[in-house]
Chain A
Amino acid sequence: MEQLKTIGRELAMGSQGGAWAGQSKEFLDLVKSIGEARSKAEEDRIILREIESLRRRIAEPDVPRRRMKDYIIRLVYAEMLGHDASFGYIHAVKMTHDDSLPLKRTGYLAVTLFLNDDHDLIILIINTIQKDLRSDNYLVVCAALTAACKLINEETIPAVLPQVVDLLAHPKETVRKKAVMTLHRFYQRSPASVSHLISNFRKRLCDSDPGVMGATLCPLFDLITEDVNSYKDLVASFASILKQVAERKLPKTYDYHQMPAPFIQIKLLKILALLGSGDKQASGQVYNVLSDLFRKCETSSNIGNAVLYECICCVSSIYPNVKLMDAAIEATSKFLKACPSDSHNLKYMGIDALGRLIKINPDIAEEHQLAVIDCLEDPDDTLKRKTFELLYKMTKSSNVEVIVERMIDYLISIDDNHYKADIASRCVELAEQFAPSNQWFIQTMNKVFEHAGDLVNSRVAHNLMRLIAEGFGEDDEGADSQLRSSAVDSYLRILGEPKLPSLFLQVICWVLGEYGTADGKYTAAYIIGKLCDVTEAHLCNDTVKAYAISAIMKICAFEIAAGRKVEMLPECQSFLDELSASHSTDLQQRAYELQALLCLDSQAAGNVMPLDASCEDVEIDKDLSFLINFVQQSIEKGANPYLPESERLGMSGVSNFSSPYQQEASSHSLRFEAYELPKPSSIPVIPQPFISTSTTDLVLVPDTTYYRENNQASKLIVGPEASSADAGIKLRLDGVQKKWGKPTYSSSSSITTSVEKTTNGVVAHQDGIRSHSRDTTYDSRRQQPEVSVEKQRLAASLFGASASKTEKKATMAQKAPKGNSTNAEKSSVVRSVSPGTSKDKTAPPPDLLDFGEPVPTSAPTIDPFKELEGLIEPASALGPLYNTVKTGGDKAQDLMALHMDTPPSVSRTSLSLASEGTYSTDKSSYTEKPMIAVKKGPNLQDALHKDATARQVGVTPTGNNPNLFRDLLG
């Protein structure tokens, strides 16, 4: 950099020496050297050097004005090349104050190019603009108007508005014209600030100068676009102006390539199209002049065709007239058949015009079939896209297969993501609307996913899964299962492809899991093997892995339920091991669930994962009414009643658990308070291993700390605090209460008992309510993999079957052919309505939601998901309840001792609650983990231990940085 500066200085010195050659010599040198630069880097270097030297010299005192002008121009040039020249803005502003016209104009030019309309320096220019708008020299006025147009924003409009309005009566027509346009610009910026001046536009329409009249058409066009009805009275005037223009009543100077004022004609036609749309009476006034124009327009010149095209647009927009339609169709076919040198432009316009006309009369496309096909095969990309747009508009159930096939071919051939996504969504839309058969639909979707999978909305994937699950046919089970097995076949084939988008892999995993073994064609081992391959062959993210493991779990469950023995394939086992040690708690949990499932007997497995139950409604008791008794009992026994977070907030200062760090912090503060008020009674309850350690030490070992606190907490509640609440020390109670406001470890421990009981084969539920609740949570957890389908079903069932029905109707459209647009509208309306309503209806009871922070939704598109959350969360909110009512003394002690073995896992649970966003809704289902941790022993503990070490190193594990951990841990 230093070197660069010296070079710059030398250069500057050198060029100063040659300043005699003329004011802009240096500028010329600059441009020349840039022109000769061989690389982008060299160009950048030259410009940076130039900017550096300008920065120095522009700040020198007493720079001659002319030289300053040169500097400013060079700054403009540098900024045009993309370099920052902000240090010079103030000098440009100063230059606008200059009296000399060239300097003032340069200043205005520079500020209009440099400054944004809310830049701080604008305030320094407004005064100048005000003064210049009153200048006698019309060129100064024009320059000021140009600047006003660019620089005046909503707040500063009032400062210059009076002057601009005065200029509407300026003797020079150029000034009047520019004043009208400036007002138009003000209107665009802030319609409210000039609303009282709108009548001026109407007045100026009658200006003696046709140019000014033409200029008013621009703001009027905008005004009419906003509000058609207030301008219906002008239809006759516009029509008569158009007639006069077409009849060459304007001065010759307005002719352009022998066309009379074509730009005015085009604007008028656009305005008339707006005014005449759907209005028979207004349209009637336009028919004559339009047919005149069709007759007069010469098609030899470009601008003539522009007017002609605008006529077609106008005809297609206003109330239809047979004669005019014929003329328009004829003109369109002339465009399409054009073969001069610029035929592409005309073809483009022709295709566009055709797209407009088929809205009125769908049949006219047929006679131009060949021309359209030609355009489709044209090397011109723009033309091709326009043609696809046309095809999209004219799709019917009879031609959908061809059109979608074409679209997909094109989709494969392009690599512009923006347009790819566009085409893909159109394909999906058409396929959903007009699919002739299920087979075709699935194949089409597969292709779309395969080639643009990452670009399509995840809603589409969910739709596809739901479609496969629900089937098309109303009652025809056979057809449905045929559909499913054909889907399974195709997916197994597609899995051979080297690279598949993640969304598509999710669909594949889900379908294979749900229906892979349904028809008995493939063995469970084969499908499981395939699923394991998926995760290995494709570098897939956690979501895909989650889908895959859930699919494996389903297949295992089906197998067990059918009484067959499931043999663990080695690759499956290694996949499972990988996931159980995963940093994503979600994946870990799924892995544990699968392991747990493998131990179940056939009936239990069948109940846990019923076959083909993805469409069943899951009944969830939102109010948890089945717990009322239990809660009542517990309260009678002396437990603290559950308080919503808002109330707890009032009670103590620490309450925000919005992030893991904060949680950590709050636990610290908890300890501090505990120390200020030591309470000996709590110490004896602390389990043996910890008795000797003092609490301060624990800060260093977070895992044990957490665990210790767990015990403490549970003890505290069971013991002194709960039973003798009045005697309890208030401060500490708050802290504990706070800490356990969230369902965390100890809730899981309490639930674990029942889980263990069951797995041990002891069917007797020690506590009916508790095991019931476990089932619920487990159930809801189990539903997670199928959530994509479930949530849609849920939405559909909640907001009336209309959603799914319309959907179905749309897909079956070939049975009842309808105007496609209305059909599309209908389904899309329903679709768009449902999320909104879902939110309204399903706002979960706030007091049950224990979490201050909204649970981040991983899939933003899916609103029903939210709802599911809402349904699950109450279950998880049980945590604190359990906590408070924990079974009396000795039993708990045993339990604690039992779980002493697995402190890391415990701490992980509590941590992950806060750190894992996505599935934090089903916390209580973490119950499974400790159990398995106990059972599985070393392997797991190892992994968890690693994790704990990692945390000690100071890294919070999240699903996102597993690699980091690998590095850290070697």
Chain B
Amino acid sequence: MIRAVIVMNTQGKPRLLKFYDFQPPEKQKELIRSVFAVLSGRPDNVSNFVEADAIFGPGTRLVYKHLATLYFIFVFDNSENELAMLDLIQVFVETMDRCFKNVCELDIVFNFNKMHAIVDEIIFGGQVLETSSEQVMKAVEEISRLEKSSNSISFVPKAVSGRFGR
């Protein structure tokens, strides 16, 4: 089972948190800090796996991917396969890339409810739901289409977020 999905930037600021076992905010903060401490201490060009039993309890591992200014982290127990989880991160990132066209940290910050929608389409209750980014995209687009038609609240337009691009 997947325990958590974490996206944080390279300064350790959380950008997306999803725990499949409830964690109170203070605990979340602490987990983020310790995960960041581990990840920031790892050199480049090493494996993407970390044994996380000191942080998340016995038998847990985490797989992370470092892309640009972000860490994508999946925490899971021994019923999952490390390499497969690495590919699941890939699916997640690909989907976001399709969604936002050249995804960057700011997209994630400004659209984090959409991010949650994407994660919910990939992982459901801690289990892998869908691994095709195309299918995930379809589902997410369907949601936004229906949302638009029922109510005209749109997500933050790209142009606005672009203003703050660095």
Contact = CB atoms under 8 A, between A and B. Distances in A.
Contacts of B67: none
A149 B16 CA distance: 19
Identify which of B53, B84, B90, B120 gathers the most chain A CB atoms within 10 Å of its CB. Answer: B84
Contact of B47 (A178, A253, A266, A348): A348
Given A82-B25, A266-B84, A379-B43, A102 B127 contact: no
B147 interface: yes
A379 B46 contact: yes
Interface stretch (A381-389, A423-431, A793-801, A802-810): A381-389
B102 interface: no
B50 interface: yes
Interface string B111-133: 01100110010001111111110
A736 to B, nearest CB: 53
Contacts of A82: 14, 25-26, 28-29, 32
A178 B128 contact: no
Interface in A45-87: 66, 69, 73, 76-77, 79-84
B132 A254 contact: yes
A256 interface: yes
Interface in A421-473: none
B17 interface: yes
Contacts of B68: none
A306 interface: yes
A379 B151 CA distance: 54
A345 B124 contact: no
A288 interface: no
Identify which of A115, A137, A344, A347 gathers the most chain B CB atoms within 10 Å of its CB. Answer: A344
Interface string B70-106: 0000000001011110110011000000000000000
B91 to A, nearest CB: 8
Contact of B46 (A83, A177, A382): A382
Identify which of B81, B83, B117 gathers the most chain A CB atoms within 10 Å of its CB. Answer: B83
Given A82-B29, A109-B116, A178-B129, A137 B49 contact: no
A149 B125 contact: yes
Nearest to A304: B83
Contact of A28 (B142, B147, B164): B164
Identify which of B14, B20, B49 gathers the most chain A CB atoms within 10 Å of its CB. Answer: B49
Interface in A743-779: none
Contact of A418 (B14, B25, B53): B53
Identify which of B46, B124, B143 gathers the most chain A CB atoms within 10 Å of its CB. Answer: B124
B17 A149 contact: no
A103 interface: yes
Interface in B115-166: 116-117, 120, 124-132, 134-135, 139, 142-143, 146-147, 150-151, 153, 156, 160-161, 164
Nearest to A267: B128
Given A24-B156, A105-B143, A254-B132, A185 B47 contact: no
B127 A184 contact: yes
A380 B47 contact: yes
Interface string A243-280: 00000000001101100001100100010000000000
A349 interface: yes
B125 A150 contact: yes
B133 to A, nearest CB: 9
Contacts of A102: 147, 150-151, 153
A146 interface: yes
Contact of A146 (B29, B81, B120, B135): B120
A211 interface: yes
B36 interface: no
A472 B128 CA distance: 55
Contacts of A181: 124-125, 127, 129
B87 A306 contact: yes
B82 A349 contact: yes
Nearest to A217: B127
Contacts of A560: none
A83 B25 contact: yes
Contacts of B132: 253-254, 256
Contact of B86 (A150, A253, A263, A345): A345
A182 B16 CA distance: 23
A139 B143 contact: yes
Nearest to B126: A185
A116 interface: yes
Given A31-B110, A66-B153, A253-B135, A184 B130 contact: no
A680 B103 CA distance: 95
Interface in A161-184: 174, 177-178, 181-182, 184
Contact of A31 (B109, B113, B134): B109
A210 to B, nearest CB: 12
Contact of A302 (B86, B128, B153): B86
A235 interface: no
A914 interface: no
A456 to B, nearest CB: 17
A488 interface: no
Contacts of A77: 112
Interface string A1-23: 00000000000000000000011
Given A84-B25, A345-B86, A28 B110 contact: yes
B46 A383 contact: yes
Given A178-B129, A309-B83, A382 B49 contact: yes
A215 B127 contact: yes
Contact of B130 (A182, A185, A211): A211
A449 B48 CA distance: 33
Interface string A293-313: 000000000110110011000
A722 to B, nearest CB: 62
Contact of B146 (A113, A139, A222): A139
A86 to B, nearest CB: 9
A539 interface: no
A47 B62 CA distance: 29
Nearest to B23: A116
Nearest to A102: B147
A101 B139 CA distance: 15
B49 A310 contact: no
Contacts of B82: 306, 345, 348-349
Contacts of B161: 28
B84 A263 contact: yes
A266 B80 CA distance: 9
A970 interface: no
B84 A81 contact: no
Contact of A103 (B91, B109, B151): B151
Contacts of A73: 112-113
A539 B136 CA distance: 61
B135 A303 contact: no
A178 B143 CA distance: 16
Interface of A: 22-24, 27-28, 31-32, 35, 66, 69, 73, 76-77, 79-84, 100-103, 105-106, 109, 113, 115-117, 137, 139, 145-146, 149-150, 174, 177-178, 181-182, 184-185, 188, 211, 215, 218, 221-222, 225, 253-254, 256-257, 262-263, 266, 270, 302-303, 305-306, 309-310, 341-342, 344-345, 347-349, 378-383, 385-386, 416, 418-419
Which 4 pairs between the two chains have the least Cβ-Cβ distance?
A: A306-B83, A82-B29, A344-B47, A380-B46
24 contacts: A23-B153, A24-B110, A28-B160, A82-B32, A101-B151, A102-B147, A109-B116, A149-B124, A149-B125, A218-B128, A221-B79, A225-B79, A254-B132, A257-B87, A262-B131, A263-B84, A266-B81, A306-B81, A309-B81, A344-B48, A345-B86, A379-B46, A381-B42, A383-B46
Interface of B: 1, 13-14, 16-18, 20, 22, 24-26, 28-29, 32, 42-43, 45-51, 53-54, 79, 81-84, 86-87, 90-91, 109-110, 112-113, 116-117, 120, 124-132, 134-135, 139, 142-143, 146-147, 150-151, 153, 156, 160-161, 164
Given A80-B28, A302-B87, A306-B83, 4 more contacts: A22-B156, A177-B129, A379-B43, A379-B46
